[in-house]
Amino acid sequence: MSASDFRQIAIRAESGKAERLFRAAVSAFCSLTRPSRREIAQLEDLTLPLFDSVSVESRRYVAAALSECEYAPAGLVRRLCEEPVDVCAPLLVRSRALGDIDLIALIGRHGLPHARAIARRKDLNPTIAQLIKALERPTLVRVRQPEPIAEAAVDSAEPVPARPDERTPGSAAENARRRLRTMMLPDGETTSVNHFVGSSTYGKLRETALTGNAAFFQTALADALDIDFSTARVLTEHSSYLSLLAALRALDLSEDKAFLITVAVYPREFPHPQAIRIFLDRYRLLHHEAALDKVRGWKAETLSTAIRGNVHVAANADQAPDGDKASLGASLKAS
């Protein structure tokens, strides 16, 4: 008898049978020392269609059982992790089926409750740990006026207003999305471009993306690709992330690093796991040389426009004529 046959029997019978089948299937699976791929797929085929028919208590039981299972079905684990934290906490804390990208997406969708459980994981990625600290203690996110820079007067920065209480019903998910774009600065540091001196290319892109200040990130991107600031601005102001994806692929960033930067710049583009899978597929299929060709095309287009006299090519230059300072002020280098 197939998994489909068992499922149909449970659906046609009283709800109690669905509950017992749901629990029994997971219990039997967890007793397997090393399940095959076929057995993993069979468990998902059996349990996922029953998911909405079983009680919260059964979901809680299954989450606890799978949290200790080394080969837990990823699809079922992800579905359970969309439940309230009192159901899925064991999985958030222990499950090996959840990768860094899954954890970031869960924080973005569910906010502090899920983030606090994830913070208890052993060997948690330091970047994710930093994000959770920023969510927990928003007062650490601060902006103050940087020290004077030679021959440049810097306007004083206004303090970042405190966010509404993270525990307010309905606000956690939106606050988490905002925090994905906010960098947690240690006490005494500033958001001036000098903060990023000495950082790696990826480090600059990550930290500037997480400030939530588009100009900082656009400047770092322009420096990394050796393109002008206006081109970098256009790349990050599209309604989709495809141009940014090509830019990051040209820099040969790993997919997890590229995703972290992209989700910080385009948090609304990743409302569910399928959107993340689409991003990863696109990134893997985009060849490095093809991405480099795109960057060369952007540079050629900028040069062509400059030759026609429409734009003065001085982006990312340390100095500019007095008449161009206003338009080029935003293209100060981040290094």
Contact 90, 62 (CB under 8 A): no
Out of 184, 206, 232, a domain closes at: 184
Residues 139 and 116 in one domain: yes
Residues 223 and 284 in one domain: yes
Q: What is the pTM of this model?
A: 0.45
- Which residues form the domain of 14? 1-96
DSSP-derived secondary structure for 270-313: -SSHHHHHHHHHHHHHS-HHHHHHHHHHHHHHHHHHHHTTSS--
Q: Of residues 69 and 182, which shows the higher confidence score?
A: 69
Tens of pLDDT, residue by residue over 141-170, are 444 444 443 333 334 334 444 444 444 444
Q: What average pLDDT does the chain have?
A: 74
DSSP-derived secondary structure for 157-198: PPPPPPPPPTTSTTTHHHHHHHHTT---PPTT---SGGGGTT
The torsion of the CA quartet 81, 122, 107, 137, rounded to 10 degrees, works out to: 140
Residues 221 and 333 in one domain: yes
Q: Which residues contact 168 (CB under 8 A, 6 or more apart)?
A: none
Q: Of residues 62 and 207, which shows the higher confidence score?
A: 62
Determine the residue type at 64.
Answer: A
Residues 320 and 198 in one domain: yes
Tens of pLDDT, residue by residue over 269-283, are 888 878 888 898 899
Q: Could you give the number of structural domains in the chain?
A: 3
Residues 217 and 317 in one domain: yes
Taking the C-alpha atoms of residue 328 and residue 312, their distance in angstroms, rounded to an integer, is 9
Residues 212 and 314 in one domain: yes
